[in-house]
Amino acid sequence: MHNQGVGTWIHRRRVKSAGRTALISGGAELSYDEFAERVDRLASALAARGIAKGSRVAYLGENHPAFLETFFACGTLGAVFVPLNTRLAPPEIEYALQDSGSSILVHARSLDGLAVPGSRKVELTHRIVVADAPATDAAADAAAETPAGAAVEDFEQAITAGSPEHRDVEVTLEDPAMILYTSGTTGRPKGALLTHGNMTWNSVNVLVDYDMVSSDVALMIAPMFHVASLGMGVLPALLKGATVILEPRFEPGRTLHLIEQYRATSISGVPTTYQMLCEHPDWDKTDISSLTKLTCGGSAVPMRVLEAYESRGLSFSGGYGMTETAPGATSLAPNKSREKAGSAGLPHFFTDIRITNVLGEATPAGSVGEIQISGPNVIKEYWNRPDATADSYADGVWFKSGDMGYVDEEGYLYISDRLKDMIISGGENIYPAEVEQHIAELEAVGSVAVIGVPDEKWGEVPRAIVTVRNGYSLTEEEIRTQLQGRLARYKIPKSVVIVEELPRTASGKIRKAELRKQYSG
């Protein structure tokens, strides 16, 4: 084949895994051969609408087979896939469409209102609508508002009209496959340009380090428009010929039901995900014996949550990464979850990390510095942002993560915090993640975030924002007592705020920028 990229994966699986279930969504099953035909038909339909190698096609919707069909159809043509976060505001959607130069937008009918660009700078030729919800008058109104020249079509009709013949376009591992917009904490979001090689090598890393097999059944409860769900779960599973269950959103009770119903072998999420599962009323009466792989990212798993799963014979695989690493950088094996508690693990098999000081020099074990990453899974550039690209690499090889951490004598990585989240109090560096980890050990704590707030004497001091679990109570004094003797006095929060919930991204990460705006005064 001329196509060496991800676009051939399902076509190759058509024969190797014929008859095997590839996707399960809403109770409906799609075999690998059926999946491959739908991808080829959609590729034909997109080509008929002007999509060719290098064209950009955007997708807006929750987890659904159409997301993956569009992704692989783009890969088949050598086009660039642009997944959009459904939690964004309309101006942010418009920015991504305009910046990427997407000419076609495939989107869920339920998101019609969000999908209609109001800016004349967005030049779509087509909107292709996925029927994830019944048609409404609002949908018709949205279609009528489509900018002149942009046709509105039905996704299933487009596939039916497409040719089932597979197209073999010349695509190399160096060619762009996807643009993922990173959250813009300062200024506009940047489009991380992932190549076919980035995504292939990341999947290989996952297969090597997480022992995924073709008989696995991977339940995806995190949105695929985030690279963690797509890169660490879905793509490696499909590359291996496993089965993927797609859920549009996370609901703990339904997740437990699906694990039992389909004998799911793997799930992935953030600590909050796992906490909500083990605290659900159905936890003790659900058969989860099929599970063999639990992967968790974002932060360390609180000890009480770890113990809840260990009591049922389960351990976690931890890890660290980001959009720019497609996304895996390190992994922690389940048998090290206790011995190396708090660690993000060792570098993935085909990935390297190093820790550098402010001068860019590599530091010895135990010294905190910036985490830098290198490997074939690491992006080489941002979309149309040569300035951001130049600022993001050391020696043209090492990607500067902006995260602070250190490695121990055995090479295990520990994350201190985001460089921008670090608190400097009286000249001392405070890493919120360290403080949060100790507070999270309190049984009454639901979730916690530590931020820096202005202080006349010390410049800034830490403040903890905490949620309390149902049925529990918690005081500021109890939190202080928990930290006494465990942390240096300057690290102990000078104030505590109890809130109902913490603002989070779609992937479950806490939005600290919002907390600073609201609670820094």
User: What confidence tens digit (pLDDT) does each residue in 70-82 have?
Assistant: 999 999 999 999 9
Q: Which domains does the chain have, with CATH numbers?
A: 7-15+36-171 (3.40.50.980), 422-519 (3.30.300.30)
Q: How confident is the model at residue 301 (pLDDT cuts 50, 70, 90)?
A: confident
Question: 54: phi > 0 → left, psi -120 to 50 → alpha, else beta; which?
Answer: left
Distance CA 326, CA 330 (A): 12
Q: Tell me the pLDDT tens digit for each residue of 360-389.
A: 999 999 999 999 999 999 999 999 999 999
Distance CA 233, CA 489 (A): 41
Segment 163-176 shows an average pLDDT of 97
Which amino acid, one-letter code, is at 271?
P
Q: Which of 94-108, 114-128, 365-379, 398-412 has the lowest mean pLDDT?
A: 114-128
Chain Cα centroid distance, residue 494: 33
For the chain, give the longest Cα–Cα distance. 71
Segment 459-465 shows an average pLDDT of 92
Range ranked top by mean pLDDT from 44-53, 456-465, 486-495: 44-53
Q: Tell me the pLDDT tens digit for each residue of 207-226.
A: 999 999 999 999 999 999 98
Cis peptide before 147 (omega within 30 of 0): no
The beta-strand segments (E) located in 322-374 are 328-332, 346-347, 352-356, 369-374
311 Cβ contact partners less than 8 Å away, ≥ 6 residues apart: none
Segment 344-349 shows an average pLDDT of 96
Question: 459: phi > 0 → left, psi -120 to 50 → alpha, else beta; which?
Answer: left
Percent of the chain predicted with pLDDT > 70 = 94
Q: Which of 144-158, 396-410, 447-461 has the lowest mean pLDDT?
A: 144-158
Distance CA 30, CA 13 (A): 13
Which amino acid, one-letter code, is at 200?
T
117 has a pLDDT exceeding 90: no
pLDDT at 292: 95
Distance CA 242, CA 327 (A): 20
Which amino acid, one-letter code, is at 49?
R
Return the structure tokens found at 405: 């951490």
Distance CA 60, CA 107 (A): 5
pLDDT at 418: 72
Average pLDDT taken over every residue of the chain: 91
Percent of the chain predicted with pLDDT > 90 = 73
Segment 242-251 shows an average pLDDT of 96
Query: Do 42 and 159 meet the contact criterion of CB atoms below 8 Å apart?
Result: yes
Distance CA 201, CA 195 (A): 10
Query: Do 262 and 256 meet the contact criterion of CB atoms below 8 Å apart?
Result: no
299 has a pLDDT exceeding 70: no
Q: Tell me the pLDDT tens digit for each residue of 20-65.
A: 999 999 999 999 999 999 999 999 999 999 999 999 999 999 999 9
Q: Tell me the pLDDT tens digit for each residue of 147-167.
A: 556 789 999 999 999 999 999
142 has a pLDDT exceeding 60: no
The b-or-e profile of 438-465 (16+ CB within 10 A means b, else e) is: bbbebeebbbbbbbbbeeeebebbbbbb
What count of residues does the chain have? 521
169 has a pLDDT exceeding 50: yes
461 has a pLDDT exceeding 60: yes
Alpha helices in 164-234 (DSSP H): 196-210, 227-229
Query: Do 297 and 272 meet the contact criterion of CB atoms below 8 Å apart?
Result: no
Q: How confident is the model at residue 141 (pLDDT cuts 50, 70, 90)?
A: low
pLDDT at 185: 42
Which of these, 157, 242, 163, lies nearest to 206 by C-alpha position? Answer: 242
Half-sphere exposure in the Cβ direction for 354 (13 Å, CA): 16
pLDDT at 136: 62
